[in-house]
Structure 1
Amino acid sequence: MKDSLPQIIEAGVQAAISDLYGADGAAQTITLQATRKEFEGEFTVVTFPLTRVAKKKPDEIANDLGEYLKEKVDEVADFNVIKGFLNLVIQDNYWKEFLLSSAVADDFGKASANGETVVVEFSSPNTNKPLHLGHVRNILLGWSASQLLEMAGYDVKKVQIINDRGIAICKSMLAWQLFGDGATPESTGKKSDHFVGDFYVLFEQKFQEEYKLWQQSEEAQAIFGKSAKEGLSAEAFFKSYSKKYFNDYSKLGEQAREMLLRWEANDPEVRALWEKMNNWVYAGFEETYAALGVTFDKLYYESNTYVLGKDMVDKGLEMDVFHTREDGSVYADLTDAKLSEKTLMRADGTSIYITQDLGTARLRYDDFGAKRMLYTVADEQNHHFATLFELLKRLEEPYADGLYHLSYGMVDLPSGRMKSREGTVVDADDLMKEVIHEARLVSQERAATEGLSQEDQDAIIRQIGLAALKFHIIKVGPQKRMTFDPKESVDMQGQTGPYVQNAYVRTRAVWRKADETGASADLDLAKDYTDLAPAERELVHQLYGFPELVKTAAESYDPSLIAMFCYELAKNLHKFWHDHSILSAETPAAIAFRLQLCKAVGNTLQSGMNLLGIQVPERM
């Protein structure tokens, strides 16, 4: 396999250290980085760590190394020294050969299959409400991480576990039973998951009505008088007492808990209602996933997996890594790992959520043989996953060292945090409609799609709107909490998805124009081009870093790196477009080279945006 430029430069520096200073160059740590934009060059060697072996000042070392590399390493054309930093200028011929032999390939940046399987879990919604903005960030991160891993050579299995059981689900079911009057999504004309979600909100409204009435009762006032701390207002007390009221006093709470018990006992009536309402939600989810361009390889359902994990608990007891309390409950002491003591089985023999996760991890390993599993879940669950991964390590599961929690910050609105039960969320479907509507307004102002059929115009407008939405979310690093401003997200200028799309469209437009005018993009002709302009060198250098960036983004599960790469590449293409002629270039060789450069940039933008789940249109 041909060495990369960093490898070539590092080997050259090591040889120089040996030849110039009589030291073992291979024993030295060579620090190589990208040259800062204000200086000439592509790669910079940091010379400060070499002062001990060279016994010279950094500037002197940099000049020594620069002269040596320029003479001995064919790829180095020139150098300059800035305060001990050696900036290396790479030969035009190297960049030209790279562009015309590698970067123009359709599969540029894609690694060969490595034979490893990775399971990526994302979305994993509850079936009591439609997908919302928070889910959108989860889905986009999980999908992009999957695409990155595939590009890096992994066999990726995309999965989700659907949380289709529990008290929240029963709240929606009970509200429909009590207040639905037999309505259906078809009879109301509502999207089916929104239909069910409305009943979840309705339950909360009815519960709050019941709770407010109860607060005026003698029973409630007596509890307040006995329990409230001195100086605490009735409003503050009852706000904090809501959960206790639901569990101990509420009639609606009692009915919901009874429905959950009947579900667990396989009551046919409750199970039939549960299946009907869940199927409504599944149909709605599928519509939303299709609109986002997302698919899964396998779905897991909590109603099937919640009983899993008991065998794992028995295994832990046999290995003496889990222990039994006097009341019969099972726990693991994780304090030596700076985690808390964790209960794994209640005294009555029933499992808890983390027990299910233990069993599900083993089930996925049995299904796919994957020794790497990625969980895309908000940072509210950091402690949960740290605990889960530690438990699996102590159980000596074969995949335990390959577990990773893709933790991401929550999404707020300018007005504050979203709350599903209060109906203060931004639904994914409504959000997509809004950005597509904004894209249509911008498109009409620019008259950019005139002459196309209405179907083609609608398809392009949809691609632009979804690019605005997806790019706006993905460009933020996963660990950062973000505030989503719908107006800002659909800005069609600057650091946005449509800005990158427009750069791709330009590359396609120039090739169409070349076909019309008969301009040649012949590769052999392009090889005759000499003396690359700085803007051309910059674009080719950016392209050169794409394959390595894909690897880095895949291993760090950070698609924001790709988003910013696409933006910077698009920005440099727009600048090149403004400063240089392509079809009217000075020679046929220059025309051919620049057409191939546009092709490579366009292909890479398309690949990069595809990694983010974003389509690029041919026109816009």
Structure 2
Amino acid sequence: MDFIIEATLKAVADLYQTTLTAQEVNLQQTRKEFEGQVTIVTFPFTKVSRKSPEQTGNEIGAYLQSHVAEIAGFNVIKGFLNLSLSDSYWLTLYNQVVLSPDFGRLPHNGKKVMVEYSSPNTNKPLHLGHVRNNLLGYSVATILEAAGYEVIKTNLVNDRGIHICKSMLAWQKFGNGETPESSGLKGDKLVGKYYVIFDKEYKKQIDELKATGTPEDEAKKTAPLIIEAQQMLQQWEAGNPEVIDLWKTMNGWVYKGFDETYNKLGVNFDKSYYESNTYLLGKDIIEEGLEKGVFFKKEDGSVWIDLTADGLDQKLVLRADGTSVYITQDLGTAQLKYNDYHMDESIYVVGNEQDYHFKVLFLILQKLGKSWAKGLYHLSYGMVDLPSGKMKSREGTVVDADDLIAEMEQTAQVQTEALGKVQDFSEDEKNKLYHIIGMGALKYFLLKVDPKKRLLFDPNESVDFQGHTGPFIQYTHARIKSVLSRAEGEYNKTSDIEQLNSFERDLIINLTQFNDALSLAAKDFNPAAIANYVYELAKAYNKFYHENSILQAEKISTKNFRLQLSASSVKIIARSMNLLGIEVPERM
């Protein structure tokens, strides 16, 4: 729209003998309730026109219409000049931009970005919170790749610590040699089962100690189970072969289970880091920080950093006994990842309960003089609730990711069969379709909202073929595919259309906005920009479809043009949904 800015500056110069800069011309997209496509805010020009915003708008509008061929008309609403661009402008833009083979992918920018997401614990299955994390991380990575970045998708697995030892100890004591094969349970579910059993038995021991008069805090520390778990952790850290073997076996069960869930979710990783390999990292960085005066030692030998001048607090970075805290290994892992890939940016997809932790982590790395620290970003996201309420993992009431996926497939089946459009599908085709629709509903519902917002997820609401949902967009894709399949390739022919009706024009306008939506989504690390764009595109296509005859158009040239518009629409819908990690069916 640079030509409008240039023409507006010339209008102001000719009408009011004043030279302005391009920054003083404020262009906006015209609001839907008004006629036009581009709006100029006229309030800033009143100081040079010495007239009302409306009069100023009318004068500039008349000037632009008479001097700029692409401007077909205008209207003024208070201080806003709404411009209608000509059909020839939109057709040229469509032919030169939308039909270009490169449309929908931005040029390489030479930058490398790492996106870290998932970050599960190996003591329990993935749950609803992990689902939002995985879908968000995978979509952001896909969007950044389309926006010209080289992307590395990573997963930092929390596979060590007291919580892992709790599952291991409970399996030793109560498992009777149970395995995924003997139990029929996925490995992650089996290990999670013993994490819950540990918690129940631990609580029993605490209650027994309290009954003998032991204070609760003391009971929590002296219960035999927690002492045994702590001893097991010490044995693990000392390299006890039996403990290490059990740890490897149970983690192996979990990874196999995770892979099944990741496959259902349609996400993957280029590299996995494991805390069992990184938990000793960071001690060199602590020494470096002490030498630079960034950290200080207290009398007991513990190492701290004082961040009070930055509005934070004092933070422990190494215990008095020389053992790491979380921030220590995170410092070391950040350095390890940079050494491995030398990326320009690194995005951590982690829930908003860790906001403070990442403020501290990034600030420490900056104070240590790490040049790459300015490229670190915490993509913070809100909790996901279900209508039944918040989830709690240790009580065994967590909303399991596999159960949620199965429920989505079941909901998709019920809704699809109610429409009665799958009678000629085989059982395999039906099951595949239910998975595509169910996952499309889940992913779209979670990604159409700004990541920072907490959201209430309703499975039934998400599978609505008429609402602001994934299935509505998937159904639009299938509808267009049906039209094109009946046209037998005629949409590849050129057409000499010169005039557009309002539905054709609106559809072209929507199509031309895809690259802008992609740029915005990449800049803000926000898939919602793509989700809401493709919803508007699907709505525009459905209006176009209902108001225009396509295959029975009155002229061959009109028919070919509308088929070509349909082909462009289906391509961009599929491209947009792909950026969200959503499959689109050929028919439904």
The alignment's TM-score, normalised by the length of structure 1, stands at 0.92
Query: Is 2:495 aligned against 1:521?
Result: no
AA in 2 matched with 1:564 = N
Q: Pick from 80, 87, 90: which aligns with 1:95?
A: 90
Q: Tell me, in whole angstroms, the C-alpha distance in 2 between the residues paired with 1:82 and 1:607.
A: 37
Deviations 1:426-464 (A, max 9, x none): 111111111111212223233323333332332222111
Q: Pick from 35, 40, 43: which aligns with 2:38?
A: 43
Q: Pick from 485, 492, 499: which aligns with 1:531?
A: 499
AA in 1 matched with 2:523 = E
Query: Is 2:371 aligned against 1:398?
Result: yes
The match for 1:441 is 414
The match for 1:232 is none
1:212/1:490 Cα in 2 relative to 1: closer, same or farther (>3 Å)?
A: farther
Instruction: Report the CA distance between 1:107 and its aligned residue.
Output: 4.3
Q: How does 1:138-177 map to 2 (within 5 A)?
A: 138-177=133-172
Instruction: Report the CA distance between 1:358 and its aligned residue.
Output: 0.9
Query: Is 2:409 aligned against 1:409?
Result: no
1:464/1:56 Cα in 2 relative to 1: closer, same or farther (>3 Å)?
A: same
Q: Tell me, in whole angstroms, the C-alpha distance in 2 between the residues paired with 1:392 and 1:523.
A: 58
Query: Is 2:555 aligned against 1:587?
Result: yes
Q: Tell me, in whole angstroms, the C-alpha distance in 2 between the residues paired with 1:135 and 1:169.
A: 18
The match for 2:15 is 20
Query: Is 2:533 aligned against 1:598?
Result: no
Deviations 1:88-113 (A, max 9, x none): 11111121122233223454221011
Query: Is 2:259 aligned against 1:286?
Result: yes
Q: Is the 1:105–1:600 Cα contact (8 Å) retained in structure 2? A: no
Q: How does 1:208-607 map to 2 (within 5 A)?
A: 208-217=203-212, 219-220=213-214, 223=215, 241=217, 245-246=219-220, 248-515=221-488, 520-525=490-495, 528-607=496-575
Deviations 1:146-174 (A, max 9, x none): 11111110011000100001111111001
Number of equivalent positions? 588
Moved more, 538-547 or 66-75: 66-75
Q: Tell me, in whole angstroms, the C-alpha distance in 2 between the residues paired with 1:375 and 1:340.
A: 22
Q: Give the root-mean-square deviation of aligned CA atoms.
A: 1.5
Q: Is the 2:210–2:219 Cα contact (8 Å) retained in structure 1? A: no
Query: Is 2:55 aligned against 1:60?
Result: yes
Q: SS in structure 2 opposite 1:331?
A: strand
Q: Tell me, in whole angstroms, the C-alpha distance in 2 between the residues paired with 1:454 and 1:354.
A: 51
Q: Tell me, in whole angstroms, the C-alpha distance in 1 between the residues paired with 2:397 and 2:177.
A: 26
Q: Is the 1:16–1:25 Cα contact (8 Å) retained in structure 2? A: no
Q: Is the 2:168–2:247 Cα contact (8 Å) retained in structure 1? A: yes
Q: SS in structure 1 opposite 2:126?
A: coil
Q: Is the 2:27–2:40 Cα contact (8 Å) retained in structure 1? A: yes
Gaps of 5+ in 1: 224-237
Q: Tell me, in whole angstroms, the C-alpha distance in 1 between the residues paired with 2:182 and 2:63.
A: 80
Q: SS in structure 2 opposite 1:52?
A: helix
AA in 2 matched with 1:455 = D
The alignment's TM-score, normalised by the length of structure 2, stands at 0.97
Gaps of 5+ in 2: none
Instruction: Report the CA distance between 1:541 and its aligned residue.
Output: 1.0
Q: SS in structure 1 opposite 2:565?
A: helix
Q: Is the 2:289–2:295 Cα contact (8 Å) retained in structure 1? A: yes
Q: Tell me, in whole angstroms, the C-alpha distance in 1 between the residues paired with 2:66 and 2:333.
A: 60
The match for 1:9 is 4
Q: Tell me, in whole angstroms, the C-alpha distance in 1 between the residues paired with 2:23 and 2:387.
A: 52
1:530/1:364 Cα in 2 relative to 1: closer, same or farther (>3 Å)?
A: same
Q: Tell me, in whole angstroms, the C-alpha distance in 1 between the residues paired with 2:275 and 2:99.
A: 46
Q: Tell me, in whole angstroms, the C-alpha distance in 2 between the residues paired with 1:55 and 1:609.
A: 50
Q: Is the 1:330–1:344 Cα contact (8 Å) retained in structure 2? A: yes
Q: Tell me, in whole angstroms, the C-alpha distance in 2 between the residues paired with 1:174 and 1:489.
A: 41
Q: SS in structure 2 opposite 1:582?
A: coil
The match for 2:579 is 611
Segments of 4+ moved more than 6 angstroms = none
Moved more, 105-114 or 181-190: 105-114
The match for 1:229 is none
Q: Is the 2:510–2:540 Cα contact (8 Å) retained in structure 1? A: no
Q: Pick from 176, 192, 217: which aligns with 1:181?
A: 176
AA in 1 matched with 2:544 = F
Q: Is the 1:371–1:400 Cα contact (8 Å) retained in structure 2? A: no
Q: Is the 1:129–1:197 Cα contact (8 Å) retained in structure 2? A: yes
AA in 1 matched with 2:534 = C
Q: Tell me, in whole angstroms, the C-alpha distance in 2 between the residues paired with 1:295 and 1:27.
A: 45
Q: Tell me, in whole angstroms, the C-alpha distance in 2 between the residues paired with 1:293 and 1:28.
A: 44
Q: Tell me, in whole angstroms, the C-alpha distance in 2 between the residues paired with 1:28 and 1:492.
A: 44
Instruction: Report the CA distance between 1:317 and its aligned residue.
Output: 1.8
AA in 2 matched with 1:255 = E
1:27/1:156 Cα in 2 relative to 1: closer, same or farther (>3 Å)?
A: closer
Q: SS in structure 2 opposite 1:471?
A: helix
Q: Tell me, in whole angstroms, the C-alpha distance in 1 between the residues paired with 2:583 and 2:242.
A: 45
The match for 1:115 is 110
Q: SS in structure 2 opposite 1:419?
A: coil
Moved more, 54-63 or 102-111: 102-111
Q: SS in structure 2 opposite 1:521?
A: helix
Q: Tell me, in whole angstroms, the C-alpha distance in 1 between the residues paired with 2:462 and 2:39.
A: 37
Q: Tell me, in whole angstroms, the C-alpha distance in 2 between the residues paired with 1:460 and 1:259.
A: 47
Q: Tell me, in whole angstroms, the C-alpha distance in 2 between the residues paired with 1:365 and 1:320.
A: 23
Q: Is the 1:104–1:603 Cα contact (8 Å) retained in structure 2? A: no
AA in 2 matched with 1:409 = G
Instruction: Report the CA distance between 1:352 and its aligned residue.
Output: 1.1
Instruction: Report the CA distance between 1:337 and its aligned residue.
Output: 1.2
Q: Percent identity?
A: 50
